[in-house]
Amino acid sequence: MAREIKFRAWVSKMESMLEEVTVFSEMIGMNDDDFYSYLPEEGKYFYDDYSCSVKRNNGDRDPETMFSPLMGEDWVWIEKPDYELMQYTGLKDKNGKEIYEGDICDLLDSRGFEIVYQQSAFGYITGETKLTDFHHLGGNYHFKWENGQSQKVEIIGNIYENPELLNLKQTTK
């Protein structure tokens, strides 16, 4: 079974997690209707107020909006450093929710572990040292993965919207 490749992005200046973004070099993009759904109602037509490096295609062909032939008109692009990209692990928690880098999960009977990509694999950190305290997520037999889903893992938040949940690390539920 091939793992689905998907990304989401945290845009701090908008304080929003954009789901299923398209990645192109140092930019992320999405259809502007999808993009607008993340903005508060009063900001829908004033996204420049968010001080992000946002570009809108408008269907023209100048080099700055060269993505129109690839993506069609009405796409919004956000440039680095205004976002943090997170990749889908290919795994789901006990509720069927997709697990991404940056998610904070309860694992087995412990709380507040950040999902990270390291050593060419997705995993979690159990201590202060990222290199020596790294544990693989997908290959861990304790989680009993069945069809990419585990009843022993539950997403409780993410590091951008719920950083306080990391303080729960290694406490028992």
Residue 44, SS3?
coil
Q: Dump strand ranges (E) for 3-162.
A: 7-11, 16-18, 22-24, 27-31, 54-56, 75-79, 84-92, 98-100, 103-107, 110-118, 121-125, 134-136, 153-158
* Residues constituting the chain: 173
pLDDT (tens digit per residue) in 135-167: 777 766 677 777 788 888 899 999 999 999 986
Q: Where do we find the tokens 């692990």?
A: 89
CB 74 within 8 A of CB 56: yes
Of 3.30.420.40, 2.70.98.10, 2.30.30.290, 3.40.50.450, the CATH number of 90-168 is: 2.30.30.290
Number of H helices, E strands in the chain: 2, 13
pLDDT (tens digit per residue) in 32-58: 777 767 766 554 444 444 445 555 555
pTM of this prediction?
0.77
For the chain, which residues make up each domain, given as ranges?
7-79, 90-168
Q: Is the peptide bond before 69 cis (omega within 30 degrees of 0)?
A: no
Q: What percent of the chain has pLDDT over 90?
A: 20
* Helix residue spans in the chain (DSSP H): 32-36, 68-71
